[in-house]
Amino acid sequence: MEILEFENVSVVYPGNVEALKKVSLTIKEGEFVVIVGLSGAGKSTLLRTVNRLVEPTEGIIRIGGRDITKLNKKELKKMRAQIGMIFQNFNLVNRSRVVRNVLAGRLSYVPTWRTMLGMFPLKDKEIALSALERVRIGEKANVRADHLSGGQQQRVGIARALAQQPQIILADEPVASLDPPTSHAVMKDLRRINKEDNITTLVNLHFIDLAQEYGERIIGLRDGELVFDGPASEVDEGVFEEIYGRSITDDDLRGGTQVAPREEG
Amino acid sequence: MKINWQLFRRIVNLAVILGVIIWSMEGMNINLERIARGIPSIGNIIKLMFPPDMDFFSRSLSAMMESIQIAVIGTTIAAILAFPISFLSAAKIGVPFSVVFLAKQILNAIRTFPELILGIFFVASYGPGPLAGVMAIGINSIGMLGKLNSEIVETIDRGPIEALEASGSNRAEVFLYAIFPQVLPQFLATALYRFELNLRAATVLGLVGAGGIGVILLQSLQFRRWPVVGMSLLIIIVVVTIIDYTSAYIRKRIT
Amino acid sequence: MPQGKKVKAQKVARVFWVDRLKKLGALVIIAFIYIWSARGVGFSLLEIIRELPSFFSLLGEMIPPNWAYSRRLIAPLVETIQIAILGSFFGAILTIPLTLLAANNVTRNKYIYFFAKGLMNIFRTIPELLYAAILVAGIGLGAFSGMLAITIFSTVVIAKLTSESLEAISYGPLEALQAVGGNKLQMIRYAVVPQILPAYTSYSLYVFEINIRVSTVLGLVGAGGIGVPLQTSLNLFRYQNASMIILVTFILVMAIDYASTKLREVLV
């Protein structure tokens, strides 16, 4: 069943910068899609149109068959609550404890008067803590976010998205700030959650080896245009060179061991 | 002939400074002889203060406690009043430019207004006593707290804000869960720092009748009761030192 | 939807309990301080609000400022500037030996070092205006007492800031001079002074800016400057004269801040 549909979606930024050019694609429920392309190719923009952090200039985006480009403010918030997002720089509140950061994923499900007083229902606290356990850092709940290593911080980011109990997870360059072994660990976590919970997952990557290893389906963007869409098994170096518009270099590879240490730092 | 410009500039600078100093000394009718007599008289005053009058220990101490209380309440009032202004005067967080500009100007004006003059006004309208001191400190400190806090707001990490917006949180939630926790410890730290300054101000405000240990100093200075002055100064030195260290320790812990 | 193992309520309680206990402890201490302080100062919101109109009517009486009075303010204004200049200047000179004694890389004798640091910290706890009030009582009314008060304050503040910079200088140049057989004075002159001079100048100017603000209110305790006519106007309820004084004080402070910034660019 299709969960996400793009129909001729374009984004033009102020100053006439065309970030997306008439992109059309369909994503099925439970798919694990990796979007590749050079920086500036429109990966981030594409991801952000799904939850309308970036407003599409034209075209239609449907989630579960419903056009989301026309939603009013209230409906938009409700829709965003169903979509988890993971960021390159984790976007955690450094000074807050891990559990606070994860609870932030429950904000849109809890009445505002409760969140203002910090009185989360027991059910939501349980959801937050089990989200942490699922990324194997349950024991860090009471630690300040900035006392964790980069990999652990990104797992808090994943836990925050999981706490939303989302239908879709958007991950924008989730491993770009991490070292190779940690990158593999985080990608494995994303893949595992995708399989276990059947959450449709879209991941932006610019490392082609990670894309090949973890992606089921690969979408290639070049200058805001969709230039490739197919299963990962069909992708080889030639396809990447086509997407990148140049030959592949070592910088395009994350490399590193694929067996990540269970706990780092 | 080759002119050494660097040397020339130095000589000019020195001459200007020297000229200004001589002009000032002339104007104030100060000569070296007066200075030579003045410095020993400072030593003489200190000598007169010893031994400090122990009978005034408890009175001075409780007056010093009042100074602390004035500083605590005054700083708190200022912190509360400065809180909204800290956001209104912060650029780059979506407040209209004209509002930011106006708020910054108001803060500047408050900052240049001397505390002691405010103290006199409040004594005139509220009557002598600690409440006048509280108001003087409470109003005056808004300027500095607002300025420092708005600088803190301007440097927050926008990442968490984006993350919460992406998950459908409303504005109040974004403020409380993404902005507030980032700025709160630093707001507290600036308030504590201002508290250290305000404690000193609260010891002075008594000189214009606004409560605290300054009142005892004013009276004892009027009658040249130097041992009492000595006792009060001793208590100020000890208490201010203790509070400075405690406050600095807390500031380090929370930021 | 997630099917991860369910977290036990016990664990939830533990994670959030620690947090609550900490918060509670802090709250109790803070509440105690506030109750103690509010009772001590006789804090009453009602009274604050009730008396606010009289405060504002007092401010109202200051408008408009008595422009004609400004002519009589030139002499005290000049005196205010002179007090600040001389106080800062003498402070900047007297601070030099204190700075050297209070820097642990210049003064190797522990006792002298701690004595100098201690002296500095003790003098720093007392505000300038208290010095002024004390000196007025001890030496007499007038600008001279104000200037001495500012001198004392400037000496310790510049010494504190500069000695901290001095303790952080690099040792390379010192070693180099040692290697060519320079004596202690030569080392200070050619390796220490050049490194420390910019900081010293900059702190002196900073203290000068503070001193201008202080010297505008010195008169309130009888220590000269523009505060003297201010005190008189307030005592005689001549509020329009007072507001004129406050206005020129504002202008003076801003002008000096501007001049000091320019001077900083030239000197530092």
Q: What is the ipTM of this complex?
A: 0.87
Q: Quick one: A261 and A180 in the same domain?
A: yes
Q: Are residues A98 and A148 in the same domain?
A: yes
Confidence band of C9 (pLDDT split at 50, 70, 90): low
Residue B205 placed within a domain: yes
Q: Is residue B52 part of a domain?
A: no
C70-267 CATH: 1.10.3720.10
Residue B221 placed within a domain: yes
Strand A58-63 relative to strand A2-13: parallel, antiparallel, unpaired? antiparallel
Convert the pLDDT of each residue in C34-45 to its tens digit: 999 999 888 888
Q: Count chain A–chain B contacts defined by CB atoms under 8 A.
A: 86
The yes-or-no verdict on residue C174 having pLDDT over 80 is no
- Residue B212 counted as domain residue: yes
Considering the domain boundaries, does residue B22 fall inside one? no
For C11-36, what is each residue's pLDDT tens digit? 777 777 777 788 888 899 999 999 99
pLDDT of residue A263 exceeding 70 = no
| DSSP H or E stretch at residue C71 | none
Determine the pLDDT at residue A119: 87
The pLDDT tens digits for C128-172 are 999 999 999 998 888 999 999 999 999 999 999 999 998 888 777
In a domain, B141, yes or no: yes
Phi-psi category of residue B182: left, alpha or beta, with phi > 0 → left and psi -120 to 50 → alpha: alpha
Which pLDDT tens digit goes with each residue over C214-232?
999 999 999 999 999 999 9
**C contact residues 28-67, partner B, Cβ 8 Å cutoff:** 33-34, 36-38, 40-44, 47-48, 51, 54-55, 58-59
What pLDDT is recorded for position B1? 60
Q: State pLDDT tens for residues A82-105.
A: 999 999 999 999 888 999 999 999
CB contact under 8 A, B224 and C137: yes
How many domains would you assign to chain B? Answer: 1
pLDDT of residue C6: 57
- Position A95 scores a pLDDT of 87
Domain-embedded: residue B68: yes
Asked if A98 and A66 sit in the same domain, the reply is no
Confidence of residue A258 (pLDDT cuts 50, 70, 90): low
Using CA atoms, how far apart are residues B190 and B193, in angstroms rounded to an integer? 5
Domain that includes residue A133, residue range:
89-165
Q: Is the pLDDT of residue C186 over 90?
A: no
Q: pLDDT tier at C244 (50, 70, 90 boundaries)?
A: very high
Average confidence score pLDDT of chain A? 90
* Confidence at residue C18, expressed as pLDDT on a 0 to 100 scale: 72
Any residues with CB less than 8 A from the CB of C216 and at least 6 apart, and which?
A: B114, C80, C225, C226, C227, C249, C252, C253
Domain count, chain A: 2
The crossing angle, in degrees rounded to 10, of helices C128-138 and B226-254 is 170
CA distances in angstroms from B65 to A139, B70, C33, C45, listed in the order given: 45, 9, 11, 21
User: Is residue C109's pLDDT more than 70?
Assistant: yes
Which range in A152-166, C178-192, C245-259 is most confidently predicted, on average pLDDT?
Answer: A152-166
CATH number of the domain where residue B204 is located: 1.10.3720.10
Q: Which residue has the higher pLDDT, A260 or C221?
A: C221
Closest CA to A258 of A163, A199, A159, A187: A187
Looking at the fold, whether A155 and A118 belong to one and the same domain comes out as yes
CA dist., res. B194 & res. B70, Å (int): 13
State the average pLDDT over residues A152-165. 95
Domain co-membership, A176 together with A123: no
Is there a single domain that holds both residue A58 and residue A184? yes
Token readout for C264 is: 């900083």
Mean per-residue pLDDT, C181-203: 84
Residues A197 and A72 in one domain: yes
> Once rounded to an integer, what is the mean pLDDT over residues A167-193?
94
**Chain A residues with at least one Cβ partner in B under 8 Å:** 51, 53, 76-85, 87, 89-96, 100, 104-105, 107-108, 112, 115-116, 157, 160-161, 164, 170
Domain hosting residue B163, numbered range:
57-254
Q: Which residues of chain B have pLDDT under 70?
A: 1-2
Q: Mean pLDDT for chain C?
A: 87
Q: How confident is the model at residue A265 (pLDDT cuts 50, 70, 90)?
A: very low
Read off the CATH number of the domain in which A10 is found. Answer: 3.40.50.300
Interface test with B, best of C36, C90, C129, C234 (most B CBs within 10 A): C129
